[in-house]
Structure 1
Amino acid sequence: MRGTVWYCRPMRGTVCLSPGDPINCINDGAIPGHVINTFCWITSTFTLPHQQGKPVGTHVVHPGVGTIGDHEKETRYHAYYQWVPFMLFFQGVLFYIPHWIWKNWEEGKIRMISEGIRGAMISSKDERKDKQTRLVQYIIDTMHLHNMYAAGYFLCEALNFVNVIGNIYFIDLFLGGAFMTYGTDVVRFSNMDQENRTDPMVAIFPRLTKCTFYKFGASGTIQHHDSLCVMAMNILNEKIYIFLWFWLIVLAVMTGMALLYSIIIVVLPSIRELILKRRFRFGTPSGVSSLVDKTQVV
């Protein structure tokens, strides 16, 4: 989870470093360039979903960019690019929360009770044995007193899993329901023939969009001016979210397996006994069984 936090942090600044200006719009010259750029940036641009997949150069100028006609109701507006840096920052905060909760809950207890037992700090076998004896005595004296500690650990593991799944649904909502299959669509696209494929990254993160500017003419009538806008930022956004798709899938699998492992250990004492017998071969089977019987997890 910490890796996700550190990934999202630099992305906040990187989004602003895309090649060229974030948006560049061209029109018939009736509107100054800086005006149309600012207007289209703050009001969002759009594409036409029904024109995705049509041949570029003969039917459309770019995937999703063509004549509006009778299909104007199918217009898809793209305003998310204004919020990408904030989204990445917010996701970084969400991934940091379980780590912060655990650090405050744990308060360095494991480091404190195991200090000097492992690593280069042990000067002799006698010293090691003495520290181990004191640790064993501490465990005996505080048996059944760390239930809240264990509960906090399991809570943070559950939060990790819920956080990953929640982020997947959150991004899917942010991208208009296109994130769930984004990674599989990109993989499928890369394996298709060059002539018969439509890039899913262009559909979600279009590099060329449309924008309509309305103003009053000399006679007082309302005029509309269509513009084509180059979205240079989206060449980076599409890479960020394809990485996030695969990364979140990996995290979901790993955290799900870790949570399942913890649940099995909690609800099945026989599994705890089996693990202890395999990891700590210096103890007798009867001694391990007795230890499991005397301890409780919750």
Structure 2
Amino acid sequence: MLSVPFLEDLLRRWFRPQTFDDPVDRLNYFLTASILAFFAIMVSAKQYVGTPIQCWVPMEFKGGWEEYAEDYCFIQNTFFVPFEKQIPENFDDRQEAEIGYYQWVPIVLALQAVMFFIPNWIWKRLHCQSGIDLDTVVNEARALRGCRPSVREQDSTKLKEYISDCLGVHENYRPIRFGCIRIGKNLGSYVTTLYLFVKFLYLVNICLQFYILNSFLGNNYTLWGFEAIKDLFAGQEWKDSAVFPRVTLCDFKVRRLANIHRYTVQCVLMINMFNEKIYLFIWFWFLFVAISTILNFIYCCFQFIPAYSRENNIKTLLKHLVSPTNHIEFKKSIRYFTHDALKPDGCLVLRFLEGHAGAIVAREIAHKLYEDYITNQATRHRNMVGNNDYGDNLINRKPSGNSKLEVPSFPYDDRKLTEPLMQLEYGFQDPTKPKDI
């Protein structure tokens, strides 16, 4: 099979599912864009290769005259008048009934496909600036599923270290202040904010698609899908829709010996048989995409913006560590781990790992990150307050095969011990009451 190497490589690189998204993202930028592109190609083939229009011309029109009339009517638009109504004598009234969209259907469908892809293009271009290579993280996590236990332990540790380094790469950056609002990568919410913004772009795009269709096809398209289905369920025959009429009229002029003759011919727009079925499918498909996108946007906002939602997600991943004896300390440590170490971006990375590599891999990586955080905090606290016994049992612990991580007794309730660390890290802001994004 012959192909254009550059074009084939470009399409393969840009129009393929990504490794850092969710099913609703793929529904928008990949599946819907592919469907619209397919329809654009199909209509183009019928329109420019086949016979999109045929007209009933006067008897004196022979050969080239008939082709001229059909080509002229296809290019210069036709107008629709139902058979039960008289053809208007006023040419201004005829212009108001003109149908001029059918020539542009392939181009508009192609542009709509590009519009569905634009939010994903923005996501791909901007998320890389966060310092977290989500593509590498997800692919490496996927590779862990088929590794031998010895190799898996080593590779998961490397992946944990890479994620930990990425999450802390912007800690020394200063945030930008706009009044009481702080914006910056060091806040740990750059990727999450960008991801929610892209979700919002998908929502804006699908609403804009209905506006484009109504402007392109006419205001009758708004509820046309429901009306068509209602007729089918009522047992009525498929009507000759005013949105996609199959039989139209066309006015054109012919100059003969310095005299101008005006003709009105009746034409059959066979291309509208395809357009009608295509846009009926598109109407219900866009409705499905709109509902899915709205629900997904609301769900993601509730999952990633409130602090308690992020805590609950991490608790779910690390619930195998909790026991009746360490329940209270575990809850405290998870709160600090979520908002001090992971931050919103780390929680989002773990959600991507869970969605693409599976819950087992995500739980394993979260466990290692949590274990590192507990160990580092124990060492740091001991050095700051001089409590040599604090954390020794964790630092010197030799984990066995199936042993659970021991959650040490956190001295965070003692204000005398925690005040120096809180002044240094939080500027007297209590991290046990984390703010939302």
Q: What TM-score comes out, normalization by structure 2 length?
A: 0.58
Distance 1:223 1:130 in 2: 86
Indicate which of 254, 260, 266 corresponds to 2:304.
266
Q: Is the 8 A contact 2:77 2:98 kept in 1?
A: yes
Report if aligned partners of 1:23, 1:230 keep a CA contact under 8 Å in 2: yes
Q: What does residue 87 of structure 2 align with?
A: 67
Q: Which residue of 1 aligns with 2:430?
A: none
Greater relative contact order (Cα < 8 A, sep 6+)? 1
Aligned residues of 2:192 and 2:304 also touching (Cα < 8 A):
no
Q: CA deviation at 1:102?
A: 2.1
2:213 alignment partner, one of 156, 161, 171? 171
Supply the distance in 2 between the matched residues of 1:140 and 1:13 (Cα, whole angstroms).
Answer: 46
Q: Give the partner amino acid of 1:111.
A: D
Residue 154 (structure 1) aligned with residue 213 (structure 2): no
Contact 2:247 2:268 in 1 (8 A): yes
The CA distance in 1 between the partners of 2:77 and 2:42, in whole Å, is 21
Is the contact made by 2:56 and 2:266 (CA closer than 8 Å) also made in structure 1?
yes
Q: Are the equivalent residues in 1 in contact too, given 2:144–2:156 (CA < 8 A)?
A: no
Aligned partner of 1:6 in structure 2 is: 34
Residue segments in structure 2 that go unaligned for 5+ positions in a row: 1-27, 172-185, 323-329, 345-436
User: 1:55: which partner in 2?
Assistant: none
What is the match of residue 52 of structure 2?
A: 22
| Cα pair 2:252 2:264 within 8 Å, conserved | yes
Equivalent residue, structure 1, for 2:410: none
Provide the aligned C-alpha RMSD in A: 2.9
Q: Which amino acid aligns with 2:119?
A: P
Q: Is residue 128 of structure 1 aligned with residue 152 of structure 2?
A: yes
Q: What is the match of residue 124 of structure 2?
A: 103
Rg larger in structure? 2
**2:335 paired residue number:** 289
Asked whether 1:192 is paired with 2:234, we answer yes
Alignment: residue pair count: 281
Tell me, in whole angstroms, the C-alpha distance in 2 between the residues paired with 1:283 and 1:259: 31
In 1, are the aligned partners of 2:140 and 2:159 still within 8 Å (CA)? no
Aligned 8 A contact 1:26 1:229 in 2: yes
Amino acid at match of 1:241: Y
* Secondary structure at the counterpart of residue 211 of structure 1: strand
Q: Can you give the 5+ residue segments of structure 1 that lack an aligned partner in the other structure? A: 52-59
One-letter identity of the residue aligned with 2:263? H
1:40 corresponds to? 73
> Contact (CA 8 Å) 1:18, 1:232: kept in 2 or not?
no
Contact preservation (8 Å) 1:8, 1:88: yes
Query: Residue 71 of structure 1: CA displacement?
Result: 10
Verify the 8 A CA contact 1:216 1:223 in the aligned structure 2.
yes
1:59-80 deviation digits (Å, cap 9, x = unpaired): x3xxx77533589737511110
CA 1:282–1:132: 2 relative to 1, 3 Å: farther
Q: CA deviation at 1:177?
A: 1.5
Partner amino acid for 2:202?
N
Q: Is the partner of 2:320 in helix, strand or coil?
A: coil
1:28 and 1:111 map into 2 onto residues whose CA distance is 65
Which of 90, 98, 101 is equivalent to 1:77?
98
State how far apart, in whole Å, the 1-side matches of 2:67 and 2:35 are: 33
> Normalising by structure 1, what TM-score?
0.82
How many Å separate the matches in 1 of 2:337 and 2:125? Answer: 29
> CA shift at 1:198, angstroms?
7.1
The question of whether the paired residues in 2 share the 8 Å contact of 1:277 and 1:283 is answered with no
Structure 1 stretch displaced more, 73-82 or 104-113? 104-113
Q: Distance in 2 between matches of 1:179 and 1:157?
A: 26
Residue 212 (1) aligns with residue 232 (2): no
2:246 touches 2:268 (CA, 8 Å); kept in 1?
Answer: yes
